[in-house]
Amino acid sequence: MGTPNVDKSRLIRELAEILSMPAYSQWLMKANEDAEFRREFENKVDRLHGKPGKGKYRVRGPQEFAMEAVDKAFGKRNRPNLLDPIVVNELKTNSDTLLLYRMFDGISLKTALTLGRWWCNRSLLEEICAATSKLNGTARENQILEYLRTAMFVDPNWNGCTDIAVMKIPAGASLPVIIGKGSWKALKSPIIKTQGDVIDKLRIMPIPGATQVFVPFVDGMWVEKVVRSTPGWPLA
């Protein structure tokens, strides 16, 4: 799965080592509790429809969570999300809050909205804001959203890209992540098959994309919507 030239086993090992740290024990516990709740709900729905259900949830540890995260970050073999090099890292903050951003539309049934796992760093938004500085008001807001959509290889059929969420990692906190540049091949579909299709149908250049940050565990307490038409949007 994913980019073939990357040593996935090494990335899994490195991420599992980070997740094994005491600082992340509560994160793993919460992830297991949420997964167990979802499994119980799914089993109830299955039984209502005369199906046997998926069985009892089995608690997972750092290694299993790391394997799942790396697989998700890589994507499918013919539709990799990221390009080599791909690295595992631990974002750490000192005295300042660290900010990550993602797009969402508030209505999509195909994305995780503000709590999704794909994010970009602040520097990308700063570059986009600088490139649109000659525009004003709604025209500038829409152009920023369009530039960010293309930079992050987001298909509008997945996500309407009408808003931006910010993750504020507080001072003194840390966050395990997987980082790599986006791949246009993540957009492949029955309609999008070639680089030419990406240009003609999605208006995206199929070149190595911006740096993408995959977050295995998203703390909802750190995430909020950046309100449009307010001073400083979207960097507020």
Over the stretch 110-126, which tens digit does the pLDDT of each residue have? 666 788 999 999 999 99
* 99 band by pLDDT with thresholds 50, 70 and 90: very high
Amino acid sitting at position 60: R
Strands (E), the chain: 75-76, 79-80, 82-92, 98-104, 118-121, 163-169, 174-182, 211-214, 223-226
Q: Structure tokens of 58?
A: 């089995």
C-alpha dihedral, 183 to 185 to 189 to 192, nearest 10°: 100
* 231 band by pLDDT with thresholds 50, 70 and 90: confident
Q: Is 2 exposed, middle or buried (0-12, 13-18, 19+ CB in 10 A)?
A: buried
Between CA 145 and CA 161 the distance in angstroms is 7
Predicted local distance difference test score (pLDDT) of residue 224: 94
* 108 band by pLDDT with thresholds 50, 70 and 90: low
pLDDT averaged over the chain? 90
Between CA 50 and CA 63 the distance in angstroms is 34
How large a percentage of the chain has pLDDT more than 90? Answer: 63
C-alpha 161 chain-centroid distance:
14
Predicted local distance difference test score (pLDDT) of residue 3: 57
Contact of 158 with 110, CB cutoff 8 Å: yes
* 200 φ/ψ angles, rounded to the nearest 5 degrees: -70, -40
Predicted local distance difference test score (pLDDT) of residue 232: 87
* pLDDT tens, position by position, 139-197: 999 999 999 999 999 988 888 899 999 999 999 999 999 999 999 889 888 788 888 88
Predicted local distance difference test score (pLDDT) of residue 1: 42
Q: Structure tokens of 102?
A: 């993602």
Bridge partners of residue 223, in order along the sequence: 167
Predicted local distance difference test score (pLDDT) of residue 106: 73
* 57 φ/ψ angles, rounded to the nearest 5 degrees: -70, 140
Would the pTM of this model clear 0.85, i.e. be above it? yes
- Reference 79, options 214, 193, 159, 181; nearest CA is 193
